[in-house]
Amino acid sequence: MDFRVRYQGTLNLLIALLIGCWIGLKVLPGLSFFRPTMPTVEESIRLQALRGDLEKKLEETLKLSPNIVDSRVHLGKGTASVTLQLGQADIGSEQIESIAYLVAAGVDGLPAGRVAIFSSDGTQLNRQSLEGYDRKQWWTDLTITVGKVLGILAALVTLRYIIQSVGAFNNSRESAKVG
């Protein structure tokens, strides 16, 4: 009896397992089996000091811009807020966008769409930009979720096909033994 015919069911299950693993790795990226460790008190103090230094450097850099008299920068987890005291002239939308990119470039993993910029009287200067970023992020997340669901469905259809193939093969083997 040929090797492939004799072990066809086992080979089909092995192929299904490999396909399932491949799809699982594509559908569930970044799955970690280890919990992240909490920073120690010393590390937290050091990180807070570094964040404070970065905030001060960004504030000093912003003060060098024309029509900006003073600035305050606050960095949070994945967000930043900037308060500007403006001079006599207003600043344009291009300069506001540049400020958002400047702050985002100073922080690893911070997109410019997560930097809120306010004037000293409390007016949000980049509201439309933030709303556009949120809308884009929502559609991106939806697309990724739909892709994952379709990947899982494809894996289930593939698994069903393989199970049917194994069942058909086993039925043909049993009928060959009987006959």
Whether residue 30 has pLDDT greater than 60: no
Share of the chain above pLDDT 90, in %: 4
Mean pLDDT of all residues in 92-114: 86
Per-residue pLDDT tens digits for 36-62: 667 788 888 888 888 888 899 889 988
Q: Quick one: pLDDT band at residue 164, thresholds 50, 70, 90?
A: confident
Q: Is 114 within 8 Å of 100 (Cβ atoms)?
A: no
Which pairing describes strands 80-86 and 68-75: parallel, antiparallel, or unpaired? antiparallel
The confidence score (pLDDT) of residue 161 equals 81
- Residue 27 sits at the vertex; the CA angle it makes with 26 and 28, to the nearest 5 degrees, is 100
Q: Model-level pTM greater than 0.75?
A: no
- Average predicted confidence (pLDDT) for the chain: 79
129 C-beta neighbours (distance < 10 Å), count: 19
User: Which residue intervals of 64-122 are DSSP H helices?
Assistant: 93-105
Mean pLDDT of all residues in 94-99: 87
The confidence score (pLDDT) of residue 163 equals 80
Whether residue 29 has pLDDT greater than 70: no
The confidence score (pLDDT) of residue 27 equals 62
Q: Quick one: pLDDT band at residue 13, thresholds 50, 70, 90?
A: low
The confidence score (pLDDT) of residue 154 equals 84
Q: Which residue has the tokens 């905030």?
A: 55
Mean pLDDT of all residues in 8-29: 68
Mean pLDDT of all residues in 150-164: 82
Count of all residues that appear for the chain in the document: 179
The confidence score (pLDDT) of residue 117 equals 92
Tokens of 48: 């807070």
Which H helix or E strand runs over 118? strand 115-119
Question: Which of 103, 5, 14 minimizes the C-alpha distance to 54?
Answer: 103
